[in-house]
Amino acid sequence: MRKVIYISFLLLLLNIRLFAADVPVIPYPQQVQQGTSFFKPGAGNFLKAAGIDQAMLKRLAEVTKSSTAATKGLAIKLSLSGKNHTVDALIKTYTRQPDWNTKIGEEGYVLVLNNKERLLVANTETGLFYGLQTLKQLTDAGWNKELVITDWPSLQHRVVFDDISRGPISKVSYIKQQIERMASLKVNGLSFYIEHVIQTRAYPDFAPVDGKLTIADVKELDAYAAKHHMQLIGSFQSFGHFSNILSLPQYQSMGETSTMISPLDPKARHFLESVITEMCGAFSSPYFNVNCDETFDLGKGKSKKYTDSIGLARFYADHLKFLYDVVKKNGKQLMMWGDIALQHEEILDMLPKDIVYMTWEYGDPQSYAKWIDPFVKRNLNFMVCPGILNTNRLFPDLAIAKANINGFINEGYKKGTTGAYTTIWDEGGDQLFSEDWYGVYMASEKSWNVKAVFDENFDQRYEKIAYGSNVGYVKAIGKLMELRDLPLTYNMTHEIWWQHILPQNGETLILNNKDVQEGLRLVNEAEQLLQSAKPVRNLSDLATLKYIVARYKLLFETRTQIAALANWYAQQEGKKLLSINKQINKLQTLKNRYVVMEADFRNKWNQENQPYTLDYALKPYRTRIAALSTLEEKLKGLSLSAPLPKAADIGLNLVESDHFYFNFWLLTGPFKSGKFPGFSYSEDPQTNHPPKPGDFAQYQGQQFRWMKYNTDNGGIVNKFKQTAADTYVFAFCTITTEEARQMPALVGNNSAVALFCNDKQVAASERETVQHQALPKETIYNLSLKAGTNYILLKVKSGAAGAAFTFRLDTTEPVTNHKHKYTINANQNSHEAD
């Protein structure tokens, strides 16, 4: 009998869970008991004090005044535990948990809705505030079923971190909107990536005039966040990523290199202490993040001799100890990114034990142990930092963000993280924060309730809560995420947006439209999903998504129209025309679409952001509009009585090709030499290894940085076109393949080239290639690729046209790339995160 009762009880619990899964709340509560009866909202005031004072009631009413519950007459009694014994007894009965007040902790709450009682009880004002956010979501959704929610957070710190230094910088008014919306999701911390955009009183001249937050602004925002039970956490880059400040003449002397401040410079130390002290005074949070991540130039600058004598780990740790003392003197606990300490684990044993390490990884590995375990085994305080990646993308990769947020927080929770610090990176120019909210909702769900699953139910709750109805938003995002798999739009890269659409300065443009039709199919389906959407709140999210879809559509259609025009012109070249008005009208229509979309984007930018970097963000629009206008004027100037000039003379010298040309490289040089330099990557044995961006090559006592380079013409690398004779340029990339294979590679160059694969020179083939007269002459090389990652190095001699070259593989398999890292037939379930 007992067994039957037990099984029945389990089935009852299962039914409650399944039935309760449609409760429209994000983040989803820890415990939900849902009845089958309906209740009628009672008449009277929205908030009633049953165990709190009037001052608290007034504060809570003020920050929840936007709730539609007030207009629907739902009266709710608020009480702090221990203040009203009758209410406490009722809560004990409804939750069936004698220790309910211990379970909910400092930020949890109990919400009871039925025909007898409407109660909200918590241990603190913050708990009541979060309970009211849940009530608001339920009321906005028209909820009218009996319900008991017992809720508390899985993680103590639930922070969103927004990059405001390497692209858009938000307006104060928009940051207040962010605070309100994040607080409604029970996010209790907001921080910013800050390099140079806070204007301090001691050094007011490094912040941009048209894009900054003053100390007064920070204090205003900090107070506004506190009203919404959120902390603003201060941050300042205090080691690497310092180029924005060091580029100013008055601060250049403080640089260890052009990107990193010098730890040994007294002026630099005084600068850091002054700025951090001011910022600590503006942010009331007990934490301060000194960043200190990605110090790429560590051991390469003016203190190299000293660094070599004590070691990189000691050099890094000593600077962190200095920053630790500054932060501690200002009453704060130091936070720092953990990447350098993970590269040199001995650093963790050199630093004070009360530092909070922010350990970050934005991909989807099988395990996050390498980013967590070094802190766990030393019993150090750490937070996991998943990412919503929008760096150099046309739209954030929300598919990888979903997997990353879920996996990283899950493993971090099991191993003792104190919080989740979800980072949003906007490096690249034209990102809008309204693209990121779906990721923010995922982060809020997982950091509050680690048991949460990102399934269809979450998506339905998201649309209902964020927009008031199911509007097709998530399904449209799903269509956009399929663009990640096409070589043309791989990883949502923004390169397709920054590339030229017409040849520049008489040069040739390569146009590969192989994926355009598939891309158009996807964006048309996304557009269709959003056509009938009628959100009732957060309208800017949908407007921005529609803009993203429309921009992709314009990108694809531009490529097909330009290719069609070039083909038409090639057929008419040398002939007399009867009319050209049809082609001119098509160009004008295309140009006007860019003009309209530019105005739309500018409006969206101005709703969120200050003017800083807007001109940069608008550059692709202006470049394309100018190119189309120039071509239009040239076509108008053609004489119908004379043969058409050559395509190169009119600016239509396009090469349409299905071949995948390598566009992204690491370049260094040029090296002045009478013959090919004998070293692979650097003359210095210590740095003669496959490079990373920012590494240096040594040659004849000089340093040459390995620079990231991306062509804007479809694959003709011509950065060094002004290079003198008898000089050599080095170009580096990687090619990854799952299995060893022989692969023909074609290098186009009109002077001389030496090609190396895995540090072995590859001999040129005697086979002839079919040449295109507008491109450099191609030579075939047979690469012996091993399974895994292969290092490709080109040494290119400068000729009459500089050191221009092209590179492609002779394969019909899809080739994709993330920056200078190329993959043959990529596993589409794995995308690059950096």
Which residues are designated catalytic? 294
Residue 425 main-chain phi, psi, to 5 deg: -105, 125
Rounded to 10°, the helix 437-448/398-414 angle is 20
User: Is the separation of the CB atoms in 729 and 699 below 8 Å?
Assistant: no
Quote the tokens at residue 704: 């040459």
| Cα–Cα dist 137/68, whole Å | 9
Q: Give CA–CA dist 754/700, Å, rounded.
A: 21
Phi, psi dihedral angles at 98 (to 5 degrees): -65, -25
What are residue 678's phi and psi, to 5 degrees? -80, -15
Q: Which of 349, 398, 622, 394 is nearest to 500 (CA)?
A: 622
Q: Give me the phi and psi of 521, to 5 degrees please.
A: -60, -45
Residues 6+ apart with CB under 8 A from 359: 337, 338, 339, 342, 371, 372, 375, 382, 383, 384, 385
d(CA 730, CA 670): 8
* 814 and 822 Cβ atoms separated by less than 8 Å: no
CA angle 756, 760, 763 (to 5 degrees): 65
DSSP 211: S
* Cα separations in angstroms, 442 against 101, 160, 182, 448, 487: 27, 11, 12, 10, 28
Residue 69 is encoded by which pair of tokens?
A: 């519950």
783: three-class secondary structure by DSSP: strand
Place of tokens 């550059």: 619
User: Could you tell me the CA-to-CA distances from 827 to 401, 436, 586, 782, 834 in Å, in that order?
Assistant: 18, 26, 39, 24, 17
Coil/strand/helix, residue 657? coil
Alpha-carbon span 162 to 159, nearest angstrom: 10
**Distance separating alpha carbons of residues 23 and 508, to the nearest angstrom:** 58
Q: Which helix (H) or strand (E) holds 57?
A: helix 54-63
Helix (H) and strand (E) counts in the chain: 23, 32
